[in-house]
A and B are shown apart, each in its own frame.
Chain A
Amino acid sequence: TQLLEQSPQFLSIQEGENLTVYCNSSSVFSSLQWYRQEPGEGPVLLVTVVTGGEVKKLKRLTFQFGDARKDSSLHITAAQPGDTGLYLCARRGYNFNKFYFGSGTKLNVKP
């Protein structure tokens, strides 16, 4: 069952452009995580958002958790080629460490 829908699936932009990636669910979740995965590597955690309406910033990346805790967005300002990768959102299941991942957004930033 696909509990998390990510959009867009693919994004190819020029260096310096801004972009937003979305993660949506029909159900409420207690927290949501964003990961970035580069080719040949495992996903690396970028941020965890817990409170509805929460906004977290990580340099040029801004993460927002929806007020109703059913959706989240990741905004990148002035994208760099180093931002290229697969961006994944994930929610924790009801039991400890059972995580559900979205299908991912594959970002390519061209120099």
Chain B
Amino acid sequence: KAGVTQTPRYLIKTRGQQVTLSCSPISGHRSVSWYQQTPGQGLQFLFEYFSETQRNKGNFPGRFSGRQFSNSRSEMNVSTLELGDSALYLCASSLGVDGSTDTQYFGPGTRLTVL
């Protein structure tokens, strides 16, 4: 079965621009989570979508937003880019059921560089 795919893999933007990243989960998975990974802050949770609804949210400013479509594909958007938004953005999909056994499968990430 195909894994989690993220597009694009690499992106270069300038300050003030906006960007949209895409994630296609594993077939049958209804939960998609987004994470930001930086050398200084590590892996930080952005938000989780389940059945087209945002179910969980991390501590990021409103410039970071997302959505999920009826086929479970998800996009995240960052507006008014800042230099500090340069990071690896990871998407993870899972069945989304409650309980400690639900497994997240991560995509390869999108490397965003803000100049």
Contact = CB atoms under 8 A, between A and B. Distances in A.
Given A31-B100, A97-B96, A102 B108 contact: no
A10 interface: no
B64 interface: no
Sort chain A's interface into a size bin: 20 to 34
A97 B104 contact: yes
A40 to B, nearest CB: 7
Interface string A86-100: 001010110111111
Chain A contact residues, majority secondary structure: loop
A104 B39 CA distance: 10
Interface string B73-103: 0000000000000000011101010101111
Interface string B99-115: 01111111111000000
Nearest to A45: B103
Contacts of B45: 93, 98-101
Given A41-B108, A42-B107, A97-B56, A88 B48 contact: no
Contact of A43 (B50, B58, B100, B106): B106
B28 interface: no
A50 B48 CA distance: 23
Interface of A: 30-31, 40-45, 48, 50, 88, 90, 92-93, 95-104
